[in-house]
Amino acid sequence: MESIAYAISGGWASGISAYGTVLIVGLVGRLGLADTPEALQRTDVLILVGVLAAIEFVADKVAYVDSLWDSVHTVIRPIIAGVLGVLIAGDASTLEQALTATLTGGLALLSHAAKAGLRLAVNTSPEPASNVGVSAAEDLSVAAVLLLAIEYPWLAAGIALVLLAITLGLAIWLLKRIRRGWHRVRDRYFADVST
């Protein structure tokens, strides 16, 4: 039953940073801190996701590059999360593996959408510090939730769901404000042009 809690935490985290999630889960298992899927602990996997996580870490801090990166990863993050869900379910029945993979992939898609929406809104800010700050907060929250899941999987799952709800709400609120602002600018522009 704890596999559901791990699926929630892993799915949410994968939607923010799939490579970082696989790297953390693999390293935690490699260091013997938790029982994680052996496939994620392999040296070749850790090197590959380590390189990709480093690239993502940098890309995520640059305005508009982060949104381009997110658009490419709209498909990649849920797929990685689904595979992670299957690996978490382990030798469970086929139905349980399918449900865990679906839950993990679905949560990854939802958290990815929230992240991408929030980043689009933050990119409209004229200063670069907000983008770096949001990215750093995402990185820290992913690491914290995944490490918390080692000892307290259900608490980590609860925190992941709360963070997902907050991010979704904030992204929707910011995007609505930006849309209203663009409509005002457009209306003023066309009012000035027509006079």
Angle between helical axes of 43-59 and 65-89 (0-180°, round to 10): 150
pLDDT score for 193 = 64
Integer Cα distance of 149 and 147 in angstroms = 5
pLDDT score for 116 = 87
pLDDT tens for each residue of the chain, 195 residues long: 688 888 899 999 999 999 999 999 999 999 999 888 899 999 999 999 999 999 999 999 888 888 899 999 999 999 999 888 888 877 666 777 778 888 889 999 999 989 988 888 888 777 767 888 889 999 999 999 999 999 999 999 999 999 999 999 988 888 788 788 777 777 777 766 665
**Burial class, 155, CB count within 10 angstroms (exposed 0-12 / middle 13-18 / buried 19+):** middle
pLDDT score for 121 = 80
Integer Cα distance of 169 and 7 in angstroms = 22
Q: What's the gap between Cα 165 and its chain centre?
A: 13
